Structure 1
Amino acid sequence: MTPPQAGWADHPAARALASRHRVRMWEPIPWVLALAFYFVFPKYLGFGTELLVTILFALSLDLVLGYAGIVTLGQAAFFGAGAYTVGMLAKHGIWKEPITGLILAAVVAAAVGLGSGLVLLRTHGLTLLMLTLCTMALLEEAANLAHDYTGGFDGLDSLPIAPLFGAFEFNPLYPKTQYLYVLTVLFVCFLFVRTLVYSPFGQSLTGIRENMLRMHAVGAPVRRRLVLCYALSAAIAGVAGGIWAQANAYVNLGTLGLDRAATVLIILVLGGYSRLYGAFIGAVAYMVLSHFLSKIYPTAWQLGLGLLLVVIALFARNGILGIAEAAVRRLGTRQATL
């Protein structure tokens, strides 16, 4: 008699899951390019650091929107929660060590995500979208009113972040430490998200996104899993916010603003959601185009990005990465027929 474990291992669903989890040949390329950027473009490490933080933030949104199907405009609430956690602890002399400060940022953001998720995820659709936006606006106004702790409208600047491992200084003018630090944190978070989405828990999130009623019918704890996913996504966004505050040595109300929430959503649409590397492609496309278009057309650079977004939304709903995947499939089909 075949043992249960062996029977499951031979099941087509198990083989499909294992094949998706397997590292593909091209996957190391983005990481090699990111590491090469450190040596090839030392004058642009500030831009590179901002790009890596943006990728991490977009990755957090991809988890909750792309894989769980939770439509939200309030992801900046968790980014700001993490940023203000690091900022207030450092500015008021409570805690300046960067790594543990980042962990605290993740914990605070996850707590905010868990608390709000328990309430907000009772709704869905447009109601949920507006409630996430209201949550972000409430946190922004709370940060503005708590002037003695948050700096209010002016924010907190010149944050005294301790050297990394007691040896590597955080210098906003020469962000060599920041770049490698952010790249390492991004890699760790990416491995976590990658493992999560290819796990049975991640597959259940995909099932909820595709057909929530069916998942209810088979007895899956739908709401509990959505709330957990929401909290995990909030924790990653909090890490992105915390590391942004550490890298720039300041934090302001912009970390909680609608602009940041809308920007990361645009990035995910450009790159392709429910695709882990869509956050990478979208962030690179958005930030590089923004950088060059703002130099060419300082007063109308957003028009070019808007037109690109319209084209992507109309003709390539899976984003830039979806276009690339379709091209590779067509090329493989042609070669197979030759």
Structure 2
Amino acid sequence: MSATDISMSPAVRDFAHRHRLRWWEPLPWIVAIGFFFLFPRHLGIGTEILVTILFALSLDLVLGYAGIVTLGHAAFFGLGAYAVGMLAHHGIWSEPLSGLVIAAVVAGIFGLLSGLILLRTTGLTLLMLTLCMMLLLEEAANLGQTWTGGYDGLPTVPIDPILGRFAFNPLIPDVQYMYILCVLFVGFIVVRTIVYSPFGESLTGIRENTLRMHAVGAPVRKRLVICYTISGAIAGVAGALWAQSNAYVNMSTFSLDRAATVLIIIVLGGYGRLYGAFIGAVAYMALSHYLAKIYPTAWQLGLGILLVCIAMFARNGILGMFDSLVARLRGKRVGP
């Protein structure tokens, strides 16, 4: 232990150490790069998993860390997808990287404006208002036939080559995969930095005890609105990536099914854990794929049974189960 560590209080030392990179943290990225080389014929499902992870990270920021209960997070996903899709489809702007920035700005502004209103409420009221907000945007996409394509969506979203060199190929999505992986890495660094910052610590405090945070003088509502805005921007980027990689946009980006799916992923992997989004997304996509093969007409039954078991017997998802197992093993080792 260094002299600097000795001079720190235990709380400050613990907070400082949490910023440090753990030995296992590069593993998901090594696996993702390995997947690119080992399974070139399955890069399509790989890109979908990566987009889902980024979307789940954005939800985990508001739900897992700030404690904002929402069932309408797909509103930001859809806004990002339609922002990129409409600009490209109508020939206004189709550059991919700047398109992500535009999607983030559009979704972030909507997150700021809606957060100022919605975050005045809590609990079931907030849950229903976020759901209504998403459904209103879905109906707006349905009615905006001229720009959004209405119910049929936008069947073609032409995207320029990345940096003018790497063109998207729908049949061989190798460029899409690496492009989305790089964006996911940047998004993860942003979320990780926020979570381990004093701002992130205050969000956790708000989640655990809002009244106490008010008592110590923390600007609770302001920080929740900022968190909601950042989360919306990240979800907008995920939606833009979905539109760019699939080369089309439809109303499913605003659907309740998408909002519920990402919530299930967070519950399955473990909320408020950063890597819970990774574990949950991979587990959900893999289970959905193989259960649909085994029982195409009722594959959701098996997934539902698993989720019930997770909710009843596992504390905080798969990562929570892993933590409990590690704790028991350590207890046995140090025991008599």
Q: How far apart are 1:317 and its partner, in Å?
A: 3.1
Alpha-carbon distance in 2 for matches of 1:98, 1:123: 37
Alpha-carbon distance in 2 for matches of 1:94, 1:318: 45
Alpha-carbon distance in 2 for matches of 1:9, 1:236: 38
Aligned residue in 1 for 2:180:
182
| Unaligned segments of structure 2, at least 5 residues | none
Alpha-carbon distance in 2 for matches of 1:317, 1:55: 21
Contact 2:269 2:317 in 1 (8 A): yes
Aligned residue in 2 for 1:224:
222
Is 1:195 paired with 2:164? no
Alpha-carbon distance in 1 for matches of 2:24, 2:237: 27
Q: 1:221 to 1:167 in 2, by over 3 A?
A: same
- 1:306 pairs, out of 301, 304, 307, with 304
Q: 1:8 to 1:123 in 2, by over 3 A?
A: farther
Is 1:239 paired with 2:237? yes
1:250 maps to a residue whose letter is Y
- 2:280 pairs, out of 279, 282, 286, with 282
Contact 1:140 1:253 in 2 (8 A): yes
- Secondary structure of residue in 2 paired with 1:95: coil
Aligned residue in 2 for 1:99:
97
Aligned residue in 2 for 1:3:
none
Aligned residue in 1 for 2:40:
42
Question: Matches of residues 259-338 of structure 1 in structure 2 within 5 Å?
Answer: 259-337=257-335
Q: Which moved more, 1:75-84 or 1:326-335?
A: 326-335
Q: How far apart are 1:266 and its partner, in Å?
A: 0.4
CA deviations 1:164-186 (Å, max 9, x no partner) are: 11111111211000000000000
- Secondary structure of residue in 2 paired with 1:123: coil
- Secondary structure of residue in 1 paired with 2:18: helix
Q: How far apart are 1:7 and its partner, in Å?
A: 10
Aligned residue in 2 for 1:254:
252
Q: 1:7 to 1:220 in 2, by over 3 A?
A: farther
Alpha-carbon distance in 2 for matches of 1:123, 1:85: 28
Is 1:110 paired with 2:108? yes
CA deviations 1:113-134 (Å, max 9, x no partner) are: 1110000000000000000000
Alpha-carbon distance in 1 for matches of 2:330, 2:95: 50
Is 1:25 paired with 2:17? no
1:297 maps to a residue whose letter is Y
2:24 maps to a residue whose letter is W
Alpha-carbon distance in 2 for matches of 1:20, 1:337: 27
2:252 maps to a residue whose letter is G
Aligned residue in 1 for 2:53:
55
Aligned residue in 2 for 1:130:
128
Contact 1:89 1:96 in 2 (8 A): yes
CA deviations 1:211-240 (Å, max 9, x no partner) are: 000000000000000000000000010000
Alpha-carbon distance in 2 for matches of 1:320, 1:9: 37
Aligned residue in 2 for 1:147:
145
Contact 1:90 1:159 in 2 (8 A): yes
CA deviations 1:244-302 (Å, max 9, x no partner) are: 00000001000001000000000100000000000000001100000011011000000
Contact 1:97 1:162 in 2 (8 A): yes
Q: 1:331 to 1:137 in 2, by over 3 A?
A: same
Q: How far apart are 1:335 and its partner, in Å?
A: 2.6
2:207 maps to a residue whose letter is R
Q: Which moved more, 1:317-326 or 1:181-190?
A: 317-326
2:81 maps to a residue whose letter is A
CA deviations 1:3-43 (Å, max 9, x no partner) are: xxx79971222111112111111111111000000000000
- 1:207 pairs, out of 205, 208, 232, with 205
Root-mean-square deviation over aligned CA pairs: 1.3
- Secondary structure of residue in 2 paired with 1:25: coil
Contact 1:271 1:320 in 2 (8 A): yes
1:206 maps to a residue whose letter is T
CA deviations 1:151-206 (Å, max 9, x no partner) are: 01000122110001111111121100000000000011001100100100000000
2:36 maps to a residue whose letter is Y
Q: How far apart are 1:332 and its partner, in Å?
A: 2.4
- Secondary structure of residue in 2 paired with 1:21: coil
Q: 1:59 to 1:337 in 2, by over 3 A?
A: same
Alpha-carbon distance in 2 for matches of 1:337, 1:310: 33
Alpha-carbon distance in 2 for matches of 1:87, 1:217: 46
Alpha-carbon distance in 1 for matches of 2:104, 2:6: 36
- Over the matched positions of the two proteins, sequence identity in percent amounts to 71
Q: Which moved more, 1:38-47 or 1:314-323?
A: 314-323
Contact 2:5 2:13 in 1 (8 A): no
Q: Which moved more, 1:157-166 or 1:62-71?
A: 157-166
| Unaligned segments of structure 1, at least 5 residues | 1-5
- 1:120 pairs, out of 115, 118, 123, with 118
1:128 maps to a residue whose letter is L
Contact 1:9 1:15 in 2 (8 A): no
